Amino acid sequence: MKFTILTLAILGIFSCNSTKNMQPDDSDNPMTENPANDSNQLSYLALGDSYTIGEGVSDAGRYPVQLVDRLNKETNKEWAMPKVIAQTGWTVDELEKGINRADVEGNTYDLVTLLIGVNNQYRGYPISKFEEEFENILLRAIRFAGVNSNHVIVVSIPDWGVTPFANQSGRDKGKIADEIDAYNRIKAKICEKHDVKYIDITQDYRAVGAQPEMLAEDGLHPSAKMYERWTQKLFDEVKTVY
């Protein structure tokens, strides 16, 4: 039986086995080097899934790298390359396992970002499960920030329902939007509870995310140009703290 292009896309893009994925314990990749002990540079830990790893874009196009580049060019602080623990297809519990494998427990970072949840929604997991797991991983992120919630930023889940991939999937785009809104409300509520900054990129993504220049070649993930818009929001927040 022949696989359709859509079937291959689902297996490749939402799978944890993409060749673009970053293994969190890959010490040969400069993106995964741990800068936490370099006293001359500020350190940044980026936690997430395909949106953090930058599926379909170059290393330089990923928003954690774009953010550090902006900070180094436009502030008087020096930042090390980010430590990224993220992989395409990861749900919250899989991110937890990835953090465990990365052997970073006990390290502290000057900045921690967290963008997770789209794969919980995509797989249809109970939202109550997400609420519990997200709070647990947020508390872990706060610990990585030296128990300083002011140094943690949570990014909302973008609505993949606006993409060409969603159009081809046959899934109900209205249902996708409603579910992502529900997930994001939970994230915002938990962030407020723990005094963590929550950045909404979802509405802007809905407005421009389907434009060809905002898409990677797979028709699902953001392009580097789309990540620039997320980077701007993050930069505006981080520069007020440092």
What pLDDT score does 7 carry?
A: 39
Partners of residue 84 on adjacent β-strands: 46
Burial of 41 (0-12, 13-18, 19+ CB in 10 A): middle
Name 234's Cβ contacts closer than 8 Å, sequence gap at least 6. 63, 67, 113, 153, 155, 199
**3-state secondary structure (DSSP) of residue 141:** helix
pLDDT in tens, 72-118: 999 999 999 999 999 999 999 999 999 999 999 999 999 999 999 99
CA distance 43 to 81: 8
Of the candidates 149, 229, 126, the one whose C-alpha atom is nearest the C-alpha of residue 196 is 149
CA distance 215 to 197: 27
Mean pLDDT of the chain: 88
Q: 10 Å Cβ neighbour count for 60?
A: 10
Which helix (H) or strand (E) segment holds residue 11: the answer is helix 5-13
pLDDT in tens, 13-57: 454 334 343 333 333 333 444 445 446 899 999 999 999 999 999
What pLDDT score does 242 carry?
A: 87
Going from N- to C-terminal start, the domains of the chain cover 5-241
Residue 234 has pLDDT above 90, yes or no: yes
In terms of residues, how long is the chain?
A: 242
Of the candidates 42, 209, 181, the one whose C-alpha atom is nearest the C-alpha of residue 189 is 181
What pLDDT score does 194 carry?
A: 98
Long-range contacts of 4-8 (CB under 8 A, 24+ apart): 5/168, 6/168, 6/169
Instruction: At 158, list the tokens.
Output: 């973008």
Beta strand 111-115 with 44-48: parallel, antiparallel or unpaired? parallel
What pLDDT score does 1 carry?
A: 39
**Global confidence as pTM:** 0.86
Matching CATH number, 5-241, of 3.40.140.10, 2.40.40.20, 3.40.718.10, 3.40.50.1110? 3.40.50.1110
pLDDT in tens, 195-224: 999 999 999 999 999 999 999 999 999 999
Give the start-end residues of each E strand in 68-196: 83-86, 111-115, 152-155
CA distance 13 to 60: 20
CA distance 129 to 95: 14
What pLDDT score does 30 carry?
A: 36
Name 58's Cβ contacts closer than 8 Å, sequence gap at least 6. 224
What pLDDT score does 5 carry?
A: 39
Give the start-end residues of each E strand in the chain: 44-48, 83-86, 111-115, 152-155, 197-199
